[in-house]
Amino acid sequence: MYQKAVAGERFLLYPMHFHPEASTSILAGAYLDEYEVIRNIAFSLPEGTRLYVKDHISAWAYPTLDFYRRIRSLPNVRLLGPHEPTKELIKSSVGVITLTSTVGYEALLLKKRVFLYGRVFYEFHKGVVPIANPANLRRIISGGLASPIGWDDQYNHDFVCAYWLSTLPGTLNLMLDRVPAAQAAEHIYRELLKAGLLHGLAAIKSAA
C-alpha cells in the first residue's frame, strides 16, 4: 500500500493528522475531510511537483483501506508509511503543507516554506504562507515557492525564545485520574491568574 520517496523528485510534504484532536477539530475545523484537502492540493500543484502524503505514526490504519486507495489514486501523489524519516523528508522537500501539524514547525526551523491551513502557535513565523482561500491554492503555492527564504538561524532562535517566554510552567496529562487531574487544573489556574490572563473569575475549589 505504501510507496517510497524517489531520489531527486521535487515534492511538497503533507503530514497526515490524528483525528479527532483539538488541534484539527478546533483549529482547522473547516478542513476535517482530509481526503478532500489532499485532493485539492494534488490538483493545485505547480508543474513538476509531487505531493508526498506521510501517514501519522499514531493513527496509521485508522482510516479505511478505501481511504488509502483513494489517496494513492490521486495524480502527483505518493503515499508514504508512518515510519519514513520525517526530518530527512523535510530536508529533501521544497516545503511542507499542513493543517496544524508540528511538522510545519520543524520545517520552519530547517528553513523550509510552510503552507498553513489552520491556526497554530507558529503561524506568525515569516516562513508561513497562510492558505486563506483554498480556491486560490495553485497561485498561493506557486507564489510561496517562488519567494526566497527570508529568515536565518538567528531569526529561528529568536522565534523559539519568544515562544518559550510566552509559555507557563506546568504539565498536561489527559490520562490522570480525577483527583490529580483536578490538582493539575488548579495549578494551571494559579499560573494563569499570576500571569494576569484571567479577569473576574472565581478561584476553583481545591481537590485536596
Alpha carbons within 13 angstroms on the beta-carbon side of residue 43 total 11
pTM: 0.81
Give tens-digit pLDDT for 134-177.
999 999 999 999 999 999 999 999 999 999 998 877 777 778 88
Domain 11-161 indexed as CATH 3.20.20.70:
no
pLDDT given at position 63: 79
**pLDDT tens-place string over residues 38-60:** 999 999 999 999 999 999 776 66
Q: What is the pLDDT of residue 141?
A: 97
Neighbours of 78 (CB within 10 A): 19
User: In whole angstroms, what is the distance from residue 139 CA to residue 141 CA?
Assistant: 6
Which residues, 6 or more positions from 197, have their beta carbon under 8 angstroms from its beta carbon? none
Domain range annotation of the chain: 11-161, 168-208
- Structure-model confidence comparison of residues 61 and 4, the more confident one: 4
In this predicted structure, the answer to whether residue 206 has a pLDDT above a threshold of 80 is no
Q: Nine-digit cell at 33?
A: 475531510
Closest CA to 38 of 6, 3, 82, 69: 69
Binned at pLDDT 50, 70 and 90, residue 28 comes out as very low
71-121 pLDDT, tens digit per residue, is 999 999 999 998 999 999 999 999 999 998 999 999 999 999 999 998 899
pLDDT class for 26, splitting at 50, 70, 90?
very low
Give the model's pLDDT for residue 27: 46
User: Given this model, what pLDDT does residue 181 score?
Assistant: 86
Contacts for 1 with CB less than 8 Å, ≥ 6 apart: 65, 68, 69, 72, 79
Which pLDDT does position 1 carry in this prediction?
A: 84
